[in-house]
Structure 1
Amino acid sequence: MYSTTKDLQAVLLKNTIHIIQTMYSTTKDLQGAVNVVRPT
């Protein structure tokens, strides 16, 4: 039971990090697209 809980926490942590990284890279891509459309 205890090891299963630890495994679940590790999986959740990995998924959370992956989601944050995906959101971050998507935001960077959007900023890059905006910069191409409207160069500063």
Structure 2
Amino acid sequence: MDHGRVVEDGTHDELLARGGRYARLWRTFIGEGIGEDEPAGV
């Protein structure tokens, strides 16, 4: 979701493979990616 609009669609595995917003959110949720080029509040 981005400003109330669906921006990606697919299964969990498909979305992770794409490396988009869902993947960034998932990595942040599980504790990866923090300290890289992503803010901790994603």
Higher percent of residues as helix: 1
Structure ID, larger Rg: 1
- Scaled by the length of structure 1, what TM-score is found? 0.31
Ranked by relative contact order (alpha carbons within 8 Å, sequence separation 6 or more), the top structure is 2
Give the structure-2-normalised TM-score: 0.30
